[in-house]
Structures are given as C-alpha cells and as structure tokens.
C-alpha cells in the first residue's frame, strides 16, 4: 500500500452542513490530490496541492475548498454540503508533480448527503 | 482539454481467455498513460503505465500498447483468472513544461472473469 489513510471511510450528513475529509500520507510526497468518483463519470480531479499551503483547482472544484498546513495532511472541505456532492472521494499522492510520475490512491471516503 | 474514451464499459470472459480494453485520447500532446485496477471498496491501484516514447510494455500477464498516430492505447490481459475481475481505468496526462499535468480518466471497464 502507498501509505495513504483517508478518514472517515463513510459519512452520512444533511444538506447544508459543513463536511471535512482528511487525507494523511506517510510517504513525504510533495503532491496530493482529491478526486471524486461517480457512476458514468470515472474519476474527476477536484483540487490538488504541490506543497504546504500551495493548492490549485481541478476540473470540478466548485463547492469545495482545500487546505494543506503540513506535508502529510490534505483536507477537503464542503462548506455547505449539497446532494450533488454525494460521491466517493479519493485522495492520491505523487512523489513529484511530473505527469510521468504515477499517482497512488487511498481507499476512499463514501459520502452521502441527504 | 483532454478527453479519454474507454471501451467496452463491461467485458465478460472465460477463465484462461484474453481480455482487451481500449482507450482513445484527444490531446496529441499527452505523453503518459497509466492503467488502474479498482476492486470493490478499494481505491484504484496502478497496474501498468506507458510513456509516449515506448510503443509497448509488458509485465507478466499484462501488457499495454500505444499508437500515438491513432491516439489510442490498449490494455491486454492474457490467461485471465477470477482475481482479475475488477473495474479497470485508463488515464492520460501531458507535460506542461514543468507544471502539473493532471490525469484525465476514462469511465472504466468492468471485467468479469468466469471460472
């Protein structure tokens, strides 16, 4: 395994509540990513980080924010959750940002917003 | 931007047969093509990747081929086994000259290997 822990693994919450998902890595990799996986869409990038306090938007960033105060932790926040954000969220890490370097994934967080 | 199409969406084979999954991409500048296997309840796991300066790569029963002219790449699994049953994703990315090139994924192929 790539040394990635996502928490919580499952969460059910209500529309309008804030939600924070955590990704913790033990590999000291510089790059970290958040994806969402939905039926019929595959994996889509939400945000990524290329270092402490350095983040950027991905393909589907609306409604999400991220923070990275330590190398090992990357947080994804839904400020006011909506039903359209029900999904499985995956964190990934990469040793460098070189696109030719592989990304390794955690086991995901299943989030249900009622 | 890049678009990756993956076919078929489902594939059923008998144990011992070969399985082939195909992907096409739109951005001719894409130069990195990984394949991931995802088992139920798990995250995607990298199984093989290929870079644009290589036409074929093999790792035991798994091989990937790349045709840059036609902009397509394929995953080949030989002598399939029940434990090969999973969802497989292809992806593509490009080098933006030092800045991050994000992976664009296909929508996945559910492979079922029947004993």
CB contact under 8 A, A100 and B46: no
Contacts of A1 (CB under 8 A, 6+ apart): none
pLDDT in tens, B3-12: 999 999 999 9
- CB–CB of A106/A92 below 8 Å? yes
CB contact under 8 A, A102 and B94: no
Chain B interface includes A42 (CB < 8 A): yes
pLDDT in tens, B38-96: 999 999 999 999 988 888 999 999 999 999 999 999 999 999 999 999 999 999 987 65
Distances (CA, A) of A45 to A60, A95, B56, B114: 6, 17, 28, 33
Give the SS3 label for residue A81.
Answer: coil
CB contact under 8 A, B103 and A45: yes
- CB–CB of A3/A27 below 8 Å? yes
pLDDT at A102: 84
Distance CA A23, CA A107 (A): 10
Residue A24 has a CB neighbour count (10 Å cut-off) of 17
Give A-chain residues touching B103 at CB under 8 angstroms.
Answer: 43, 45, 99, 103
pLDDT in tens, A31-66: 899 999 998 888 999 999 988 999 999 889 999 999
Res. A95 pLDDT band, cuts 50 70 90:
confident
CB contact under 8 A, A100 and B96: no
Distance CA A90, CA B26 (A): 25
Positive or negative torsion for Cα B1, B105, A28, A99: negative
Distance CA B112, CA B115 (A): 10
CA A69 from centroid of its chain's CA atoms: 15
- CB–CB of A42/B108 below 8 Å? yes
Q: A60: closest CA among B104, B80, B13?
A: B104
Distance from the B12 Cα atom to the nearest Cα atom in chain A, whole angstroms? 19
pLDDT at A41: 83
């Amino acid at each position: 395994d790539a040394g990635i822990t996502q928490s919580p693994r499952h969460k059910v919450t209500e529309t309008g509540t804030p939600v924070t998902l955590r990704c913790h890595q033990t590999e000291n990799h510089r790059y970290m990513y958040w994806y969402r996986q939905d039926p019929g869409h595959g994996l889509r990038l939400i945000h990524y980080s290329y270092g402490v306090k350095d983040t950027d938007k991905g393909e589907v960033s609306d409604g999400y924010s991220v923070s990275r105060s330590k190398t090992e932790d990357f947080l994804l926040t839904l400020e006011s959750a909506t039903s359209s954000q029900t999904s499985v969220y995956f964190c990934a890490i990469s040793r460098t940002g070189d696109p030719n370097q592989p990304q390794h994934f955690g086991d995901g967080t299943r989030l249900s917003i009622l | 931007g890049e678009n990756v199409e993956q076919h078929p969406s489902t594939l059923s084979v008998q144990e011992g047969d070969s399985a082939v999954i195909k992907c096409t991409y739109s951005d001719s500048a894409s130069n990195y093509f990984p394949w991931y296997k995802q088992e139920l309840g798990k995250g995607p796991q990298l199984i093989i990747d290929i870079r644009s300066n290589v036409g074929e790569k093999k790792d035991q029963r798994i091989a990937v081929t790349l045709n840059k002219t036609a902009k397509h790449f394929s995953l080949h699994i030989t002598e399939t086994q029940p434990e090969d049953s999973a969802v497989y994703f292809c992806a593509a990315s490009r080098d933006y000259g030092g800045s991050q090139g994000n992976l664009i994924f296909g929508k996945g192929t559910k492979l079922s290997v029947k004993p």
